[in-house]
Structure 1
Amino acid sequence: MSRARAALTNVGTFLLSLVLAIFIWMSASQTQDPARTRFIEVPLGFVGIPSNAALVNTDARQTVQIRLEGPDSVLQAVTPEDFTATADLSDIPSGQLTTVDVVVVGRNPAARISFITPEQVDVQLEQQVTREVPVELDLRGTAARGHQQDEPLLDPPSIQVSGPESRVSQLDFALVTVFLNSTAETLVESSQPIFYDQSGRVASVTGLDLSAAEVTVTVPVVESAGFADKLVTVEWTGEPAPGYRLLSVTAVPPSVLVEGRPAQVNQLASVKTEPIDINGLTQSFQQTAVLALPAGITVDPEQTVMVNIEIEPILTTSTFNRVPTLRGLGQAYDATFEPAQVRVILFGPLPALDALAENDIRVSLNLFGLEPGVYSVEPDVDVPDRGIEIRLVQPPAVTVTVVPAEADTATEPDAGITTVAVATITPLGASPVQLPAVCSLSTTRIAYGALADICTRRHVPE
């Protein structure tokens, strides 16, 4: 008896220990991963819609809000894609507003669905129909003067509309609007039509299927009998000034609308202007042209033709040979250079090149600070700033030999001639020429014209 009582006591103790262990484990689990509540929105889908029916008066983008309960770790991982909310429309009648249940199914059973809203939705199905809606044209404005429009073409002439019968049956026509705005040629334009209902009000076609979103309108525009566009031919006389050339002659607009007897208009190839005198001109200009019209041909007096005449200088090259002048040579030195002349090739407007004077082109050799010896010196070329470019200098460097100056010579005072000291500059290969020593000073060549001639050997002193 005592054994049985001891066994029962052991069993009771074991069960109590097991219950306590389970309670402790559940308490620990609850502390580490507590139960939570979370709300989430899921899109509502409609299923079971018959192929010949359409959903009306219902927002097809409805959502369902659901309340979830479960462990925090589970709820944090769920997304709207883990749930499906549907409303089955397979058994509802057509044309009647019907209430159907919303069914929500989740993928993870640990996330328990405790509440959904809305639980039901009101839906209405209607017969799906297709209808041809005619396209009409609202043509505004007129063709240009001397032109007429032919019968417009619409592509497509009607639009096929599919959708619920109650909406499609209300549509009356689709309207496209085109503006001519004095168009002188065939107009082709694509436009989005506006639909109108039976009451003449604008009707929405959102949610309806359209066979075409745009309508292409072609409005043929042709010249009227006795009217035609003719090119303008500009006549001119004379030639630009020497050294200039005629670059272009243009008329704006390039053509004008003429009116006359059809036969005469058809024979007219172009419309000429009265001659414009360009003789001796040196620059471009613009002026209003006077049209020389044959008898019986007229133009709209409001039409004016401007003539643009472009004249520009002839661009060419010219070659000049110059004897270099010496700059900066010390008074104690003489210098010779080879070659004796430097060739300068200039590029620019012909009138500017022809107008260059002898002293407009200056070639000099900078000998400042040079001691006796042989040097290769690059010539300095100075030309006026008249749009002239230096294209070539030959040679690019001149050989200069600097030597000590020879002793000065003088004449007797009673000779009646003022004496000047002279120095000898002998270019290589040339005969020695006695020049005043003052020629070595750069300022002297600028101040005295006659002395400059002597220094540049264009005049030999007696």
Structure 2
Amino acid sequence: MNRAGETLTNVATFFLSLVLAIFIWMSASQTQDPVRTRFLDVPLQYVGLPAEASLVRTDPRQTVQIRLEGPDSVLQEYTSNDFTATVDLSQVPFGEQVSVDINVITSKTGATISFITPEQVEVMLEQQVTRDIPVEVDIRGSVARGHTQGEALVEPASIRVTGPASQVNQLDFALVTIFLNSAVETLIETPSPIFYDQAGRVAGVGALDLSQDEVTVTIPVEESAGFADKLVTVVWTGEPAPGYRLLSVTSDPPSVLVEGRPAQVNLLASVSTEPIDIDGLTESFQQAVVLDLPAGITVDPEQTVTVNIQIEPILTTSSYNRVPESRGLRAGYEAVVEPQQVRVVLFGPLPMLDALSENDVRVILDLFGLTAGTYSIVPDVDIPDRGIEIRSVQPAAVTVTISQTVPSTASAFETPIVSDGEDSAVMAPTPVTRVPTFCYLSSSGMVSAGLQEICIGRRKAE
């Protein structure tokens, strides 16, 4: 008995140790990878929609939220794409708002779905219908005087609309509005129609399927018998002044509506103005004119025709050869310029170029502060401000050689002839004041201050 009792005690001890080991292992595993909770939003999918049915959702919800429970390492591997949330519409009756269960499934294991919200969604199915809604035209305004309006043509005459019966059946017609605005020719427009319901109110069709969004409206417009729109031909005589040209001749309005016998109106190609004299003119102008109409033809309605005459100067180029003028040359120096002439090409109105005088185009060399030596000087061109521009200067630079001049003096005795009235004469030597051979002139052309008296004495002696 003692041996049997000892064996039983050993077995009990073994099982107790095993349970404790399992508990310790589970506790250790729980500590390393704890069980956690995670929430995911899964998109809703509607399946089983019967043919010729439209879904009307009364719940705007697009997703369902699920709660997952499981080890943290497993939960981290789950995404919304691992689940499918569906709403089965195959058993939903038409025209009734019902609640349908949401079914969420996944192919992954290791975690459990403990909660779904919402568990149901409210839906309603409607019979899907198709109707042809007629298109009507609202014409506003009128065609121009002397013209007639034909019957409006709409293409297509109706628009096919598909959608839930409750929305499609309330539609009455579609309307397009056309403004004529005194049209003188056939009008073709492609407007988008506006839909109206049975109560005459604007109806929204954004959720409906339309066969097309636009229609083409054609409204024929023709000239009435005895009326016609004719171009205005401007007649002028003479030529602008020399150096000017006629740029353009236009009339405002460019055409007028004339009235007369149909046969006479049909033969009339255009209507002319009375002649406008532009001989010798140099400026643009506007002028109200009288139309030279054939007998039996009148303008309807009476209106003023204004003619615009555009005249402008002829733009051209002209060249001028000029001797450069030196400025700022120091006293006691002289300058030699090579080449001796500079060619200047000007561009501008021909009358302005023709009116230029010799002194209007000058080539200036700035020699201020320069001493003896050879220099390359860029000439300055001086022209009047008359809308003229300088196109070129050749050469672009001239060579200027500056050298110093040396003054010299001379002593001489002149022997004046003293006559006693006879044929003989007595020659007596008379001293003459020494005068310099040269006079120094400043850049301004005035006599240098230090030599002014000597130069005057020379002029007297000469």
TM-based fold match above 0.5: yes
Rounded to whole Å, the distance in 2 between the matches of 1:87 and 1:336 is 108
- 2: CA distance between counterparts of 1:232 and 1:411? 93
Provide Cα deviations, 1:355-396, integer angstroms capped at 9, x if missing partner: 222222112333344444444433332112222222233333
For the structure 1 residues 38 and 187, does the alpha-carbon distance in structure 2 shift closer, same or farther, using more than 3 Å as the test?
Answer: farther
The aligned counterpart of 2:41 is: 41
| Other-structure match for 2:120 | 120
Match of 2:204 in 1: 204
What SS does the aligned partner of 2:151 have? coil
Identical positions, percent? 70
Structure 2 CA distance for aligned equivalents of residues 395 and 148 of structure 1: 73
Q: CA deviation at 1:6?
A: 5.4
Partner of 1:221: 221
Q: Distance in 1 between matches of 2:124 and 2:143?
A: 51
* 1:320 positional shift: 2.0
Query: Residue 261 of structure 1 corresponds to which residue in structure 2?
Result: 261
2:445 corresponds in structure 1 to 444
Amino acid of the structure 2 residue aligned with 1:86: T
Task: Indicate the larger mover: 401-410 or 182-191.
Answer: 401-410
Matched to 2:179, the amino acid is F
1:331 touches 1:405 (CA, 8 Å); kept in 2? no
SS of the residue 2:445 aligns to:
helix
Amino acid at match of 2:168: V
Secondary structure of 2:264's counterpart equals helix
Distance 1:400 1:129, change over 3 A: closer
Does residue 234 of the first structure (1) align with residue 234 of the second (2)? yes
Indicate the residue corresponding to 2:421 in structure 1: none
- Between Structure 1 and Structure 2, how many residues are aligned? 426
State the shift of 1:49 in Å: 1.8
C-alpha distance after superposition, 1:185-211 (max 9, x if no partner)? 222222222223334333333433221
Contact 2:59–2:122 under 8 Å retained in 1: no
- Tell me what 1:142 maps to: 142
Amino acid at match of 1:133: I
Partner of 1:108: 108
Contact map agreement 1:421 1:437 (CA 8 A) in 2: no
DSSP-derived class of the 1:22 partner: helix
The 1-side partners of 2:121 and 2:334 are apart by: 116
Cα 1:96/1:329, change in 2 over 3 Å: closer
Q: Is the 8 A contact 1:41 1:66 kept in 2?
A: yes
Contact 1:422/1:437 (8 A) holds in 2: no
Kept in 1: contact 2:57–2:122 (CA 8 A): no
Output one character per residue of 1:42-73: Cα deviation in whole Å (capped at 9) or x when no partner: 33322212223333464586433333333444
Distance 1:274 1:73, change over 3 A: farther
SS state at 1:45 partner: strand
The separation in 2 between residues aligned to 1:404 and 1:397, in whole angstroms, is: 23
**Aligned CA-pair RMSD:** 3.3
**Aligned AA (1:158):** S
| 1:311 matched residue in structure 2 | 311
Question: Aligned-pair distance for 1:10?
Answer: 4.9
List per-residue Cα deviations over 1:392-413 (Å, max 9, x = no partner). 333334343333314367999x
Query: Any residues of structure 2 matched to 1:12-411 within 5 Å, and which?
Result: 12-56=12-56, 58=58, 62-301=62-301, 303-407=303-407
Amino acid across the alignment from 2:445? T
TM-score (normalised: structure 2): 0.80
CA distance in 1, matches of 2:45, 2:260: 73
Give, in whole Å, the separation in 2 of the partners of 1:379 and 1:84: 91
Structure 1: stretches of 5+ with no match in the other structure: 413-419, 424-435, 446-461
CA 1:49–1:336 in structure 2 vs 1: closer, same or farther (change >3 Å)?
closer
Distance (whole Å) between structure 2 residues aligned to residue 14 and residue 39 of structure 1: 43
Could you give the per-residue CA deviations for residues 280-314 of structure 1, whole angstroms, max 9, x where no partner exists? 33232334443333333333456443332222111
Give, in whole Å, the separation in 2 of the partners of 1:422 and 1:356.
41
Stretch deviating more after TM superposition (145-154 or 19-28): 19-28
TM-superposed deviation, 1:421: 8.0
Q: Is the alpha carbon distance of 1:364 and 1:24 closer, same or farther for their aligned partners in structure 2, counting shifts above 3 Å? A: same
- Write the deviation string for residues 16-41 of structure 1: whole angstroms up to 9, x where unpaired: 44433433443344444443334443
**CA, structure 1 residues 76+290, in 2 after alignment: closer, same or farther (shift >3 Å)?**
farther
1:363 and 1:197, CA in 2 relative to 1: closer, same or farther beyond 3 A? closer
TM-score, normalised to structure 1's length?
0.80
Alpha-carbon separation, structure 1, partners of 2:352 and 2:204:
75
CA distance 1:322–1:209, shift in 2 (3 Å): closer
In structure 2, relative to structure 1, the CA distance for the partners of 1:16 and 1:376 (3 Å cut) is same
Gap change, CA 1:4 and 1:261, over 3 Å in 2: farther
